[in-house]
Amino acid sequence: MPVVRSSEAVTHEMHGARFVSYASSLTGSRELCAWRGEIPAGTRAPLHTVDREEIFHLLDGELLITLDGRTERITAGDTVIVNPGTTLGIENPTGEVAVSWVTTSIGLEAQLSDGTRIAPPWAR
């Protein structure tokens, strides 16, 4: 039974946010990856289009989530389903860190609005 201890999680940083990776192909998962996202106060991630479904659950805080141009305020306990091909934006307009849990398929890639492709290491 693979167990990933919190001390073994790998932290990555991108666009002002932290991604703490727990489940990935590097930790023994064959299909799914999962990470904790920490979005600091005042952070706005660039719009990006994902190629796989993501399940985004907000554990703590408040965020503005934009899906294909429509913005919703979410609070702790809310879950957002991001379908493949959706353009996603995340903003923390508050004064507190927001904490999320995200699950997706291994191999997720995203494309920024300028065409740059990103293969996040926490989604491998």
Q: Which domains does the chain have, with CATH numbers?
A: 7-123 (2.60.120.10)
Q: How many beta carbons lie within 10 A of that of residue 31, not counting itself?
A: 9
Report d(CA 101, CA 39) in Å as an integer. 11
Q: Is 40 exposed, middle or buried (0-12, 13-18, 19+ CB in 10 A)?
A: middle
pTM of the model: 0.93
Quickly tell me which residue has 């965020």 as its tokens. 63
Report d(CA 100, CA 96) in Å as an integer. 13
Report d(CA 120, CA 35) in Å as an integer. 11
pLDDT in tens, 3-53: 999 999 999 999 999 999 999 999 999 999 999 999 999 999 999 999 999
Examine the pLDDT at 74 and tell me if it is beyond 70.
Answer: yes
What is residue 112's three-state secondary structure?
strand
